[in-house]
Amino acid sequence: MLTNADLLAKVKELGDVSKSDLVRACGYVSHKKDGSERLNFTAFYEALLNAKGVDLGGASKTGKGGRKLSFNTKIQFNGNLMVGKAYTGMLDLKPGDEFEIKLGRKQIRLVPLGAEDEEE
């Protein structure tokens, strides 16, 4: 996939071709499981805007589906408290990481085992 000056040069070089041909020529193509081609128009246009100096703020706090994280949760029907993958990913937590649960008056803190609790 072309980016930055290379992308701008290729778009200028190709001139007046169809949008599909433009996206394909710049390398914004992936393949579906059945082997057919998928043109990645969104990635192409984001790269094009980025190359022209338009920052879309792509580092926003979103989950896998592109939704903004709400930083709210609720207790599930079975009493469990769910913390989603997007949140654990932001904190670089891995399966098997262990924590001590510290209960405050109106808060719950998770302290990694072996780490010092700053609140003590």
CA-wise closest residue to 41 among 55, 18, 24: 24
The mean-pLDDT minimum among 22-31, 36-45, 56-65, 96-105 falls in 56-65
Predicted confidence at residue 72, as pLDDT, reads 80
Contact 24, 31 (CB under 8 A): no
3-class DSSP assignment, residue 54:
coil
Q: Rounded to two decimals, what is the model's pTM?
A: 0.47
Radius of gyration of the chain (CA): 22
The answer on pLDDT for 10 being more than 60 is yes
pLDDT in tens, 79-115: 998 888 888 888 888 888 898 888 988 888 888 887 7
Separation CA 74–CA 22 (nearest Å): 47
CA-to-CA dists, residue 39 to 15, 61, 62, 65, 71, angstroms: 19, 26, 23, 19, 34
Question: Which tens digits make up the pLDDT trace of 50-79?
Answer: 888 877 665 555 555 566 777 788 888 999
Which CA distances in Å does 54 have to 4, 43, 51, 64, 113?
11, 14, 7, 23, 43
